[in-house]
Structure 1
Amino acid sequence: MIVPAYRDLPNGDAKGVFGDDDVLGTLNRQTPEAVALAATSVRSGKVFSLNAPMELPDPPLFDRGPFAHHVYQTRMGNRDDWVDNFYPQSSSQWDGFLHIAEPEIGSYNHQPPHRLGIEGWARRGIAGRGILLDVERHLATQGETLHWHTERPITVEELEATRVAQGVEWREGDVLALRTGWWTGYLAADAEERDDVRTRHDSPGLRAGAEMAAYLWDNGISAAVADNVSVESMPLGPELLHHLTLCRLGMPWGEMWWLDALAQDCADEGRWDFLLVSAPWNLTGGIGSPANALALR
């Protein structure tokens, strides 16, 4: 399949690129060949969970309430449990195509909502080579401390500088894993700082704009995940990278991923690639899903 360059997409809209009825977007770049090649990133056999504890952040963000976990004993004597008030996007999670709508086109590939539930991704599964760009660590070598709770747009040039410093090359179907140090800062924060995050979500992240969308698209990225709240920098501006990628390009977003242990191992080995596997919830009409993601090295 020949995928046009970003500059050749009308208004940055990938409608029809992967088929008029497509509901997978850039996950189509995770071809069998790309997945088989991604498996060669597994060398040491180490496995890293990329999922934060479900009860974090605590208190929950975006006016969500905490969930309640109930454990009970059945009549057969075994234990069972259920969860009340659980938000699938409350911790490490995927934004599905229904999470946000672009004012001009609606959702990805101009599809009606009933076709874009998270079950489309779940039935296929997500697997490919992940590349961790540890921007927080790279900027520290340049003398800049990236504060987890302060707005700081990360530019294309800074992504490229990190990539070059880490010695990695993009391949078609790669997943970008961006580390900003958000979880490191959050876990070290006191109760007052954590409470402040509920209503003031300022954080470093990707700079919104067509230049960033073009960088991700033209480098063959199949999905973008980050350890911060929204992948892009917050507070959000008038132009949303979510609109340019999730809606127009059909590029899945993953937020609040648990990347610190993986990043440390990558730094220790001087190798920043891994096999990423994720099984989103097979929930018909689902808006998002817990990440359910593993990195294998």
Structure 2
Amino acid sequence: MSDGRRSIPCYRDLPDGDAAGVFGDDDVLGSLNRLTDERVVDAAALVRTGERFSLSAPLSWPDPPLYGRAPLEHIIVRTALGNRDDVLHNFHPQGSSQWDAFTHIRDPELGWYNRREVEDLGIETWSRRGIVGRGVLVDAAHHRAVWGRPLGWRARDTVSVDDLVAMMAADDIERRPGDVLLLRTGWTAGYQGADDATRLAVKSDPTSPGLEPTAEMLEFLWDWGVSAVASDNISVEALPPDGFVLHPHLLNRLGVPIGELWWLDALAERCRSDGRFESMLVSVPLDLPGGVGSPCNAVAIR
């Protein structure tokens, strides 16, 4: 397949599903290379009403924090000049709506993305370019409910390739190279509506729905030509892991950024109201040299 001026091999032609060298031996951006200037211009043409939807949760959410993190502590201090200033303690860049950088996890067999040194792959490489393109919302929670197979937000319920194809067909969504897939599983809505005891249980038991972790899913996403995948759940893929895990394949082998815990409910409601499931997506991660993740700082513009 062709992606701008570059010929991109199909997934089945990638040895061991490894895209090393596809975007150049020195590449540190992975599938973000698919967000060409021309595709950014095309995404800008999607803006019709000027409506903006923040896809970022508060930095202090989820509450309590997941994976044993300490709660964010926000202190306001006075400077020597008498101005007010912020100080954050226990700030985990991956604690709320986030991006996983290529350094977040290491492939146990092949190492880091594109065989680069870990020091070369910090989140700053994405920040200095920005992530701007066509965001495509797939509302899996809605469709599965309509089909009589609702996604349980506290269950390891999987969204298959066949599900994605059917959902996109139902919403008349055309797949285009460079798309950022925004997957709504309903996890955020479930968590927000839960009582304190249930939220506390989530802290130590992150069982949740998500993409089905299979080689078929990797092939579908790569051959679609996604530049990134983001979801409203804990890990994009269903949890807990059950053998095959998408994370090292997406991050380290294919160079596909992963976004997690994004707030997609308001955007989904608006998309359903007018039947338009595409928007201009703008995200600027933190310019944190060597960072392994960042708040997503994302907005969908319609």
Specify the TM-score bucket, using the shorter chain as the normaliser: over 0.9
Q: 1:56 & 1:6 partners in 2: Cα distance? A: 36
The question of 1:117 aligning with 2:117 is answered no
Alignment of 1:134-283 (within 5 A): 134-283=139-288
Q: 2:112 & 2:154 partners in 1: Cα distance? A: 30
Q: 1:246 & 1:222 partners in 2: Cα distance? A: 11
1:78 CA displacement: 2.0
Determine the structure 2 residue equivalent to 1:24. 29
RMSD: 0.7
The question of 1:10 aligning with 2:15 is answered yes
Question: Of residues 91, 105, 110 in structure 2, which corresponds to 1:100?
Answer: 105
1:178 CA displacement: 0.1
Question: Of residues 37, 41, 66 in structure 1, which corresponds to 2:46?
Answer: 41
Instruction: Give the residue type in structure 1 aligned to 2:244.
Output: E
Q: 1:101 & 1:233 partners in 2: Cα distance? A: 19
SS in 1 for 2:218: helix
1:40 CA displacement: 1.3
Q: 1:190 & 1:285 partners in 2: Cα distance? A: 37
TM-score (norm 1): 0.99
Q: 1:61 & 1:32 partners in 2: Cα distance? A: 37
Residues 202-256 of structure 1 show CA distances to partners (whole Å, capped at 9, x for unaligned) of: 1110011110000000001000000000000001122110111111000000000
Aligned length in residues: 297
Instruction: Give the residue type in structure 2 aligned to 1:141.
Output: V
Structure 2 unaligned runs (5+)? 1-5
- Work out whether residues 210 and 244 of structure 1, in 8 Å CA contact, stay in contact via their aligned partners in 2: no
Q: 1:42 & 1:104 partners in 2: Cα distance? A: 43
Q: 2:65 & 2:57 partners in 1: Cα distance? A: 13
Q: 1:109 & 1:200 partners in 2: Cα distance? A: 33
SS in 1 for 2:175: coil
Q: 2:48 & 2:136 partners in 1: Cα distance? A: 15
1:144 CA displacement: 2.1
- Work out whether residues 59 and 72 of structure 2, in 8 Å CA contact, stay in contact via their aligned partners in 1: no
* Percentage of matched positions with identical amino acids: 53
Q: 2:25 & 2:79 partners in 1: Cα distance? A: 49
Determine the structure 1 residue equivalent to 2:134. 129
Q: 2:81 & 2:112 partners in 1: Cα distance? A: 47
1:85 CA displacement: 1.1
Q: 1:41 & 1:247 partners in 2: Cα distance? A: 31
Structure 1 unaligned runs (5+)? none
1:76 CA displacement: 2.5
Q: 1:213 & 1:41 partners in 2: Cα distance? A: 27
1:73 CA displacement: 2.1
Deviates more, 1:145-154 or 1:269-278: 145-154
Question: Of residues 43, 56, 61 in structure 2, which corresponds to 1:56?
Answer: 61
1:59 CA displacement: 0.5
Determine the structure 2 residue equivalent to 1:79. 84
1:119 CA displacement: 0.7
SS in 2 for 1:145: coil
